[in-house]
Amino acid sequence: MHTDFSTTLRTHRCGALRAEHAGQRVRLGGWVHRARNLGGLLFVDLRDLSGLVQVSFDPQRTPRELCDLAASLGNETVVLVEGTVVLRPDAMQNAELGTGQVEVHASGLRIVSPAAVPAIPVARAKGENLPAEDLRLRHRYLDLRRTELQANLVLRHRLMQVTRRHLSERGFLEIETPILTKPTPEGARDYLVPSRVHEGEFYALPQSPQLYKQLLMVAGLDRYFQIARCFRDEDLRADRQPEFTQIDIEASFIGVEDVIALTEGLVGALWREAGFTTPAQFPRMTYADAMERYGCDRPDLRYGLEIREVSDVFRDTEFGIARTVLAQGGRVRGIAIPGGAALSRKQVDEIEAAAKSAGAAGLVRLKNNGGQLEGPAAKFLGEGTAARLGLEDGALGLYVAAGDRVANPALDRVRQDVARRLGLVSESDHAFLWVTDFPLFDRDPETGALASVHHPFTSPRADDIPLLDTAPERVRANAYDVVFNGTELGGGSIRIADPALQSRMFGLLGIDEATAQARFGFLLEGLRAGAPPHGGIALGFDRIAMMLAGADSLRDVIAFPKTTAARALFEGAPSPVPPDDLRDLHITVTRPSA
RNA sequence: GGGGCCGUAGCUCAGUUUGGUUAGAGCACUCGACUGUCACUCGAGAGGUCGCGGGUUCGAGCCCCGUCGGCCCCGCCA
């Protein structure tokens, strides 16, 4: 680690000074974080990226003009200070400060740049809330002076360098792919860029470098990676930005196990860089298992609360809801919550509201109170039912009677909600998981049309290829997601290397040959030119940085993020452009008339 | 596209429930005092289009309608 930050203007960074520097003459540059004027004696906390150091001005040893100048300093003024590092007497040391054993006795002071009174405070009082986020974004240069955000960006940098080193050492080539690309008609909306040279035609910003990285494999580059900026014109969330960064990886002559092992190594290196350890191998679970046991393809395994099917318990009972659903081919599934009987009626109502918002008609509640089963459905159920439901004394069972398409998301919500309320989620736990064997297709419940679960270049599992024509929704893909604490870190697949299979896939997806040629012709041509078996993965870099920084929002690990309305408040983008510019681009803006 | 929360001094927030005197506090800012503080302390001062527009009312920060902005969620994100 580089530690010599001396330049022609300074000898040290402020936060680097320690007892060992006592007696040295130093020159420092930084921002006035805060000043304490005791009348005569005056302290200035000088701040740079490395931290704070206390500079003292004492009339008994500091020239009068210097003291006067120091007394005039406003917060956030940029100064150059010259002085001597002095060990503080024991009683005057500050254990909360890295530099707290020393201070700098100033012998020189130069104001480089006086600062306007900051629009939002940089030095905050203890317990003072952060300024509103729109102000933080509008005055981003001030917000970024906060040590928390600086630490986040430092960590982000280190994670990037670890990624580069780890992959480079394994023979991966960092190759840039175009930012001006071809619009993709499927999936997320593209950001479009008008062509000036070609009237009426548009580039698109990439949603991912997917096709390019496959073509690099066709070209024989063997192993590729990129810390790739991607763009999607969709609505935002706390964990979703319109432009974001992925660690994009593709390799040739590779199978599922190779990608998994490679990713475990990279994720391990990233987590170690942030001071955490990871298991050498992550547990695995098939998609089907994840949906059955957790109702979700990225289950949070920090806690149990597994979903169990209890249809048998309700079969042949007079309980109306269950009867109806079972007769229609649905199931009764739910979660047994040890100690859940302690949840109040109101709390369970709120959990039910969450289940309803996810689409369930309601929750069936059963409580084991001292061996006695209680709840609206209890009277329909016989002796020993509590044991069959796995409800111990004090346990609460919450069940959804419905088809899986409804029950899965509802039970996922219930499970997460209950875990949060019962404090079962430990922030310090790190639960990794591979979810494998995703289905290749998803059938639209209304139109019956097939759509890709991952993307149309994902290969089917070899043993499922015979099902392609007979039962395509049962075909499993060579696709995998890596999950951390219930969040998807990334996903990938082994791609289709056979142009005939790729054409067949387009056919199943309802993309005719002409359309396929127009949209993906350059990929099909590439595959026909001799494609190695290849596959890869893309990891959400911002999300990883956010989790490793312990941040709540992606915006706290991105230097200049967008708001949830996809605006950049600092620079004011997007913005209207002069009519002449639009004319050059052959664009007319029409607004809906009032 | 839909739902929820928020918007009062440069910043963080009270005040809105029940409309009623001159809209308050802390920090920051300005001035003054103070020689070992580290969220220094003490005194004084200045600082307001209560997001914006319209309405109801004798009277609106407070009630109603609209609108703008921010955040969170659903849809969306192959």
Strand B within 7 A of A117 CB: yes
Position A593 scores a pLDDT of 47
Q: What average pLDDT is seen over chain A? A: 93
Q: Tokens at residue A106, please?
A: 């100033």
The residue whose two tokens read 């318990």 is A313
Residues A255-283 have pLDDT tens digits of: 999 999 999 999 999 999 999 999 999 99
Q: Is the pLDDT of residue A377 over 90?
A: no
Lowest mean pLDDT of A119-128, A410-419, A533-542, name the range: A119-128
How many angstroms from the chain centroid is the CA of residue A263?
Answer: 17
Amino acid at A42: L
- Whole-number distance in Å between A127 CA and B60 C1': 34
Confidence of residue A335 (pLDDT cuts 50, 70, 90): very high
Backbone angles phi and psi of A393, in degrees to 5:
-60, 130
Q: Which bases in strand B are touched by protein, i.e. have an atom under 7 Å from a CB?
A: 1, 10-13, 26-30, 33-41, 69-78
**Radius of gyration (C-alpha) of chain A in whole angstroms:** 30
- More confidently predicted of A343 and A162: A162
Cα–Cα distance measured from residue A380 to residue A326, given in angstroms and rounded to the nearest whole number: 15
Q: Is the pLDDT of residue A222 over 90?
A: yes
Q: Is the pLDDT of residue A518 over 60?
A: yes
Backbone angles phi and psi of A589, in degrees to 5:
-95, 125
Q: Is the pLDDT of residue A351 over 60?
A: yes
Residues A459-480 have pLDDT tens digits of: 999 999 999 999 999 999 999 9
Q: What share of chain A is helix, strand, coil (3-state, %, to 5)?
A: 35, 25, 40
Nucleotide B11: nearest residue by CA–C1'? Answer: A120
**Nucleotide nearest residue A211, measured CA to C1':** B78
Position A361 scores a pLDDT of 85
- Whole-number distance in Å between A117 CA and B23 C1': 26
Cα–Cα distance measured from residue A415 to residue A299, given in angstroms and rounded to the nearest whole number: 10
DSSP H stretches of helix in A173-223:
210-218
The residue whose two tokens read 């909360």 is A96
Amino acid at A183: P
Buried b (16+ CB within 10 A) or exposed e, A517-527: eebbeebbebb
Cα–Cα nearest to A260, from A476, A492, A32 = A492
Residues A124-163 have pLDDT tens digits of: 877 788 999 999 999 999 999 999 999 999 999 999 999 9
Q: What is the DSSP pairing of strand A487-494 with strand A78-87?
A: unpaired
Cα–Cα distance measured from residue A386 to residue A366, given in angstroms and rounded to the nearest whole number: 9
Q: Which of A154-163, A185-194, A398-407 has the highest mean pLDDT?
A: A154-163
What is the rounded average pLDDT of the residues A79-103?
A: 96
What is the rounded average pLDDT of the residues A109-136?
A: 91
In contact, A557 and A239? CB cutoff 8 Å: no
- Whole-number distance in Å between A242 CA and B54 C1': 36
Position A592 scores a pLDDT of 59
In contact, A291 and A453? CB cutoff 8 Å: no
Strand B within 7 A of A214 CB: no
- More confidently predicted of A182 and A356: A182
Q: Is the pLDDT of residue A594 over 70?
A: no
